[in-house]
């Protein structure tokens, strides 16, 4: 990709840059129906998904990744300060795409016969939410549902933590967390809450009958876990045994163990 001879790059005051910068905030994203994706790997995933409306790129970044600039339908060359203003990272890469929001209605995310779903309930940290999405993708989950006061999955930190997995499986958001759990149950999923004091031991061989069936795992925030009113609606509260002296597992680790436990139980059951 080349810039027309003599044409200056866009600046942080250019109208298209000013409009894109509003997408750094959730209100701006929800109003425009679009969000920002930064960095070569995430932009590549967005292009593969056909979600890119516009690519902002510096001359240096275009020289490093000419194949990405060549694939975008609309490319706007900007200077370093403009690219930095579209970034919320410490070391901007000079490559930012404007993409369509990815979330769909809960009913659409659960369409068909889902076997494994992850529900993020009240997760406030975007890095944790993005990592759960990544883990769910790796485990072959059918969808990730973000229930209640959970962070926006289009938040820049969440997108980066997902390492592109936001583009790989259905995402749905609904502020009514109880309605999300009801929709999971209506879709034939057994509701499992990850709870350090749960009555069902993840490693009990008898648990395979539950874990290996169609399930929705509900994960809460690091500090307080799944809200009590939601945990009470679950079919089972499942504990991951702590064999050493650690006080607990972090959210991403617990999510990986639980989701993969379901995959393993399904395999054992044939």
DSSP 195-261: -TT-SEETT-GGGHHHHTSSEEEEEEBTTTBS-HHHHTTSSEEEE----SS-S---HHHHHHHHHHH
Q: Does 243 lie in the same domain as 129?
A: yes
| pLDDT computed for residue 2 by the predictor | 44
CATH number at residue 129: 3.40.1280.10
Q: What confidence score (pLDDT) does residue 221 get?
A: 82
Question: Looking at residue 50, what is its pLDDT?
Answer: 94
Same domain, 110 and 160: yes
Q: Are residues 81 and 119 in the same domain?
A: no
Instruction: List C-alpha distances in Å: 154 to 15, 20, 119, 127.
Output: 22, 14, 16, 11
Q: Is 265 among the domain residues? A: yes
Examine residue 61 and state whether it is found in any structural domain, yes or no.
Answer: yes
Q: Is 9 contained in some domain?
A: no
Task: For residues 66 and 86, state if they share a domain.
Answer: yes
Domain boundary among 100, 133, 164: 100
Q: 117 with 93, same domain?
A: no
**3 within domain boundaries:** no
Of the residues 67, 100, 133, which one is the last residue of a structural domain? Answer: 100
110 and 79 share one domain: no
Q: Is residue 4 situated within a structural domain?
A: no
Question: Do 144 and 170 fall into the same domain?
Answer: yes
Query: In the sheet where 190-194 sits, what is the strand order?
Result: 171-174, 143-147, 116-121, 215-220, 190-194, 236-239, 200-201
pTM summary value: 0.92
CA dist., res. 43 & res. 36, Å (int): 9
Q: Indicate whether 149 belongs to any domain.
A: yes
Token reading at 170 = 């259905």
Residue whose pair of structure tokens reads 């425009």 in the numeric block: 32
Nearest to 171 by CA among 189, 156, 150: 150
Indicate whether 82 and 152 sit together in one domain.
Answer: no
* Torsion from C-alpha of 78, 80, 82, 85, nearest 10 degrees: 150
Q: What is the pLDDT of residue 195?
A: 80
Residue 250 near residue 161, CB atoms below 8 Å: no
Do 113 and 59 lie in one domain? The reply is: no
Amino acid 68: pLDDT: 95
Q: Of the candidates 44, 77, 100, which is a domain's last residue?
A: 100
Kindly give the parts of the chain with pLDDT less than 50: 1-3
CATH code for the domain of 54: 3.30.1330.30
Q: Report the pLDDT value the prediction gives residue 6, as an integer from 0 to 100.
A: 52
Residue 2 domain-assigned?
no
Q: What is the residue range of 90's domain? A: 15-100
Is there a single domain that holds both residue 112 and residue 95?
no
Is position 6 within any domain? no
| Structural domains counted in the chain | 2
Task: Assess whether 139 and 228 both reside in one domain.
Answer: yes
- CA-CA distance, 132 to 251, in Å (whole number)? 8
Query: Do 131 and 252 belong to one domain?
Result: yes
């Amino acid at each position: 990709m080349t810039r027309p001879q003599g044409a200056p790059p866009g600046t942080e005051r250019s109208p298209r840059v000013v409009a894109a910068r509003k997408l750094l905030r959730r209100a701006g994203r929800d109003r425009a129906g679009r969000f920002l994706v930064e960095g070569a790997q995430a932009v590549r995933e967005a292009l593969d998904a056909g979600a890119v409306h516009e690519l902002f790129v510096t001359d240096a970044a275009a020289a490093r990744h000419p194949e990405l600039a060549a694939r975008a339908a609309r490319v706007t060359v900007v200077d370093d300060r403009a690219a930095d203003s579209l970034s919320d990272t410490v070391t901007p890469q000079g490559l930012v795409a404007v993409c369509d929001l990815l979330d769909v209605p809960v009913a659409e995310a659960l369409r068909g016969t889902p076997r494994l779903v992850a529900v993020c309930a009240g997760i406030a940290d975007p890095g944790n939410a993005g990592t759960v999405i990544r883990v769910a993708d790796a485990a072959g989950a059918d969808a990730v549902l973000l229930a209640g006061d959970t962070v926006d999955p289009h938040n820049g930190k969440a997108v980066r933590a997902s390492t592109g997995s936001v583009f790989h499986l259905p995402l749905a958001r609904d502020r009514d967390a109880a309605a999300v759990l009801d929709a999971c149950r209506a879709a034939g999923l057994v509701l499992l809450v990850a709870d350090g004091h749960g009555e069902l031991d993840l490693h009990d061989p008898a648990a395979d009958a539950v874990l290996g069936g169609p399930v929705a795992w509900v994960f809460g925030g690091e500090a307080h876990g799944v809200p009590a009113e939601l945990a009470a609606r679950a079919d089972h509260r499942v504990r991951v045994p702590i064999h050493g002296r650690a006080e607990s597992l972090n959210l991403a680790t617990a999510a990986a163990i639980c989701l993969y436990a379901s995959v393993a139980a399904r395999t054992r059951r044939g």
